[in-house]
């Protein structure tokens, strides 16, 4: 969803910015660019396409300077061209701006700027910001930035430099993430710490409505009226699970890190804090999330229904936002998000909070907006996830939510002590079982090779397996671009069966022994129409299935099986995408962190 970075210090800015942009590329890779203070003026280099294009252009023009800003783009307004790439300059080149977010009132701002004779040259919402700051400049850059920030609507994290201050950059935040980092004789701003963590030992995650004035001498913070604010820089937390083999895709590396993530999540589950929050009486439990995070929530819903005899209302965050009325005032909102910066999820949480809800989040980023909004945050300890597709983070979310479900069942007296201990034992065994699934990946790569040219792939399952199927389908389509859908197996015969023919694949997830016969029937329905069937089954189930391929996962409680089947489905998607020559870490049209509605 665009990544921005700014640097000021004793070193040349270009290598610092490029390194930072590489780390931020997961946020968007439609174009990239940098702006530098060269001493006398501002100089810009920007290119459509991957960062490599920008690097090539920079090699040719070789701009120098120790103050600069950079941007990597996920296009929203305006196609991905050199022209629409950030940074943007104001008319006489006095200000350069990079932006992450959406300027909701850019059309009216553009109209009034045009009336004043400003020539806007791009199709973006962001360009107006540079002109607006220029318009308000009367000798003091901070005042101009403040004045412009007050006029902007929507979401924005901005990086601003001006020709007037060769040693100062500004960061502005409203509803899009931005951190300020302090190093030794060098300081920076960035969409997240990944871009500046190698030289900024101390960090501050900016709040909405703040402007940071950053120079080599130090960092000061202001509100949008220029009033000074106090803040604390905290030491950077050590990053977990960051090792990667040379040339290995991040996605593959991150799938392999899953067992460790599960182990850390199990050990760090906040038992006492969860007990305090869950003990209160609630009128309803509402789960919100998007994409994979929402799918993790579905598994929670299934487990809560079975183990805690409790109905969870689950809502895709963006859909929840469209609903009017019907709010329960005393709800517990469980918000799930890897990044903690997904705009739809944050807005859904804010909406629920306005109704008086208590917020419990499951999040992978401690310094995120979601964690700040939460009464309690359960941190999934996966380490950073850089590939766009959620892998280890999804499994860790499911795992944390299962622990939460057990805690809830225990507190509400819905489960016997013996059963609780048995299930806790099952959960404790999951990291080792996940390791075993990963060891079997070479077979999966062969299955994937067979399916790489499928006309369509349908993921099917019942109960928890159906929720796992939804996630498997999402993973496959987002990184391999194969057409895919997920359905409850029982629904197949109510329409989708019409699509089963040679060249189509059905992936049937069948981990519950109680449903073995029904699942075998689903496989038969697929194969007798000429389509190919891949079955993902628990070891203990050896149903008489005439499937083309059977992939087994270790036995576990059927409610917990999505932890293991997810790894199989992620690897399946990964190997299909590799066989199709796709960029698995950076699939087309997508970005890791979706910070716009």
Catalytic residues: 2, 592
Q: How many whole angstroms from its chain centre is CA 178?
A: 15
Q: Residue 413 has what DSSP assignment?
A: T
Q: Which is closer to ligand F6R, CB of 8 or CB of 388?
A: 388
Q: Which is closer to ligand F6R, CB of 192 or CB of 555?
A: 192
Contact call for residue 125 and ligand F6R (CB under 6 A): no
Q: Residue 519 has what DSSP assignment?
A: H
Picking from 114, 402, 393, 131, the residue whose alpha carbon sits closest to that of residue 250 is 393
Residues 6+ apart with CB under 8 A from 267: none
- Binding part of the chain for ligand F6R, among 291-299, 319-327, 349-357, 500-508 by CB under 6 A, reads 291-299
Residues 6+ apart with CB under 8 A from 246: none
- Over the window 552 to 571, marking each residue x when it contacts ligand F6R by CB under 6 A and - when it does not, the resulting string is --------------------
The answer to whether the CB of 95 falls within 8 A of the CB of 133 is: yes
**How far apart (Å, rounded) are the C-alpha atoms in residues 166 and 94?**
11
Residue number of the CB closest to ligand F6R reads 291
β-partners of residue 533 are 506
Contact call for residue 254 and ligand F6R (CB under 6 A): no
Contact call for residue 595 and ligand F6R (CB under 6 A): no
Number of residues that bind ligand F6R (CB under 6 A): 15
Contact call for residue 318 and ligand F6R (CB under 6 A): no
Contact call for residue 69 and ligand F6R (CB under 6 A): no
Contact call for residue 410 and ligand F6R (CB under 6 A): no
Contact call for residue 359 and ligand F6R (CB under 6 A): no
Backbone angles phi, psi at 224, to 5 degrees: -70, -5
Burial label, 7 (beta-carbon count in 10 A; 0-12, 13-18, 19+): buried
Q: Which is closer to ligand F6R, CB of 278 or CB of 317?
A: 317
From 191, 342, 361, 556, residue interacting with ligand F6R (rule: CB under 6 A) = 342
The answer to whether the CB of 445 falls within 8 A of the CB of 495 is: no
Contact call for residue 596 and ligand F6R (CB under 6 A): no
Rg (CA), the chain: 25
Contact call for residue 345 and ligand F6R (CB under 6 A): yes
From 390, 403, 504, 509, residue interacting with ligand F6R (rule: CB under 6 A) = 390
The answer to whether the CB of 152 falls within 8 A of the CB of 113 is: no
From 293, 347, 569, 584, residue interacting with ligand F6R (rule: CB under 6 A) = 293
From 193, 212, 290, 307, residue interacting with ligand F6R (rule: CB under 6 A) = 290
**How far apart (Å, rounded) are the C-alpha atoms in residues 518 and 398?**
25
CB 345 → ligand F6R: shortest distance, Å?
A: 5
Contact call for residue 162 and ligand F6R (CB under 6 A): no
- Over the window 461 to 490, marking each residue x when it contacts ligand F6R by CB under 6 A and - when it does not, the resulting string is -------------x---x------------
From 124, 339, 400, 489, residue interacting with ligand F6R (rule: CB under 6 A) = 339
CB 370 → ligand F6R: shortest distance, Å?
A: 8
Of residues 435-454, which lie at the interface with ligand F6R (CB under 6 A)?
none
Q: Which is closer to ligand F6R, CB of 25 or CB of 478?
A: 478
CB 340 → ligand F6R: shortest distance, Å?
A: 7
From 132, 178, 389, 476, residue interacting with ligand F6R (rule: CB under 6 A) = 389
The answer to whether the CB of 176 falls within 8 A of the CB of 155 is: yes
Q: For residue 597, how many C-alpha atoms fall within 13 Å in the half-sphere facing its CB?
A: 14
**How far apart (Å, rounded) are the C-alpha atoms in residues 594 and 597?**
8
For the record, the structure tokens of 434 come out as: 């996940």
For the record, the structure tokens of 554 come out as: 């270790």
Contact call for residue 369 and ligand F6R (CB under 6 A): no
**How far apart (Å, rounded) are the C-alpha atoms in residues 132 and 114?**
11
- Binding part of the chain for ligand F6R, among 64-72, 234-242, 266-274, 288-296 by CB under 6 A, reads 288-296
Contact call for residue 368 and ligand F6R (CB under 6 A): no
For the record, the structure tokens of 573 come out as: 């998607």
Q: Residue 175 has what DSSP assignment?
A: B
Residue written as tokens 């940074």? 87
Contact call for residue 337 and ligand F6R (CB under 6 A): yes
3-state secondary structure of 119: coil
Contact call for residue 374 and ligand F6R (CB under 6 A): no
* Residues at the contact surface with ligand F6R, assessed by CB under 6 A: 290-293, 337-339, 342, 345, 389-390, 474, 478, 593-594
């Amino acid at each position: 969803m665009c990544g921005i970075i700014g640097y000021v210090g004793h070193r040349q800015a270009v290598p610092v910015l490029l390194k930072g942009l590489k780390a931020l590329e997961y946020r968007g890779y439609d174009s990239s660019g940098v702006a530098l203070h060269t001493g006398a003026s501002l100089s810009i280099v920007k290119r459509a396409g991957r960062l490599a294009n920008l690097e090539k252009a920079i090699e040719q023009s070789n701009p120098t300077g120790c103050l600069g800003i950079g941007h990597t783009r996920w296009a929203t307004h305006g196609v991905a061209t050199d022209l629409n790439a950030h940074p943007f300059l104001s008319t006489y080149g006095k200000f350069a701006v990079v932006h992450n977010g959406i300027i909701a009132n850019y059309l009216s701002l553009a109209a009034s700027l045009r009336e004043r004779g400003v020539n806007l040259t791009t199709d973006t919402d962001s360009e107006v910001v540079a002109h607006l700051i220029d318009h308000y400049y009367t000798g003091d850059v901070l005042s101009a930035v403040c004045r412009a920030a007050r006029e902007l609507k929507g979401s924005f994290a901005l990086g601003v430099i001006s020709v007037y201050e060769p040693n100062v950059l500004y960061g502005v935040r409203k509803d899009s993430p931005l951190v300020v980092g302090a190093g030794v004789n060098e300081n920076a701003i960035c969409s997240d710490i990944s871009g500046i963590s190698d030289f900024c030992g101390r960090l501050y995650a900016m709040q909405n409505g703040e402007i940071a004035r950053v120079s080599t001498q130090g960092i000061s913070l202001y509100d949008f009226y220029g009033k000074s604010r106090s803040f604390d820089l905290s030491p950077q937390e050590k990053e977990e699970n960051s090792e990667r083999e040379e040339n290995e895709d991040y996605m593959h590396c991150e799938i392999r890190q899953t067992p460790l993530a599960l182990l850390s999540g199990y050990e760090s589950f906040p038992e006492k804090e969860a007990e305090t929050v869950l003990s209160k009486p609630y009128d309803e439990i509402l789960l919100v999330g998007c994409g994979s995070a929402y799918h993790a929530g579905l598994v929670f819903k299934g487990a809560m229904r079975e183990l805690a005899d409790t109905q969870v209302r689950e809502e895709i965050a963006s859909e929840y936002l469209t609903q009017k009325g019907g709010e329960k005032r005393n709800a517990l909102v469980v918000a799930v998000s890897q990044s903690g910066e997904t705009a739809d999820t944050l807005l859904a949480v804010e909406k629920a909070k306005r109704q008086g809800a208590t917020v419990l989040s499951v999040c992978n980023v401690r310094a995120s907006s979601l964690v700040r909004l939460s009464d309690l945050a359960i941190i999934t300890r996966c380490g950073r996830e850089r590939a766009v597709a959620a892998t280890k983070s999804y499994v860790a979310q499911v795992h944390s939510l299962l622990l939460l479900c057990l805690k809830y069942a225990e507190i509400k007296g819905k489960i016997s002590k013996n059963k609780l201990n048995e299930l806790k034992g099952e959960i404790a065994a999951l990291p080792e079982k996940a390791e075993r699934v990963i060891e079997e990946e070479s077979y999966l790569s062969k299955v994937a090779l067979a399916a790489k040219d499928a006309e369509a792939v349908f993921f099917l399952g019942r109960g928890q397996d159906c929720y796992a199927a939804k996630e498997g389908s999402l993973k496959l389509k987002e990184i391999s671009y194969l057409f895919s859908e997920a359905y409850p197996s029982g629904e197949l015969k109510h329409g989708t069966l019409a699509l089963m023919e040679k060249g189509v694949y059905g992936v049937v997830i069948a981990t519950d022994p109680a449903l073995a016969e029904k699942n075998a029937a689903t496989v038969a329905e697929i194969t007798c129409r000429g389509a190919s069937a891949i079955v993902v089954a628990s070891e203990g189930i050896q149903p008489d299935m005439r499937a083309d391929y059977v992939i087994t996962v270790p036995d576990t409680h059927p409610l917990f099986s999505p932890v293991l089947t997810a790894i199989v489905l992620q690897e399946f998607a990964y190997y299909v995408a590799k066989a199709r020559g796709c960029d698995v870490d950076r699939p087309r049209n997508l970005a890791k962190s979706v910070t716009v509605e």
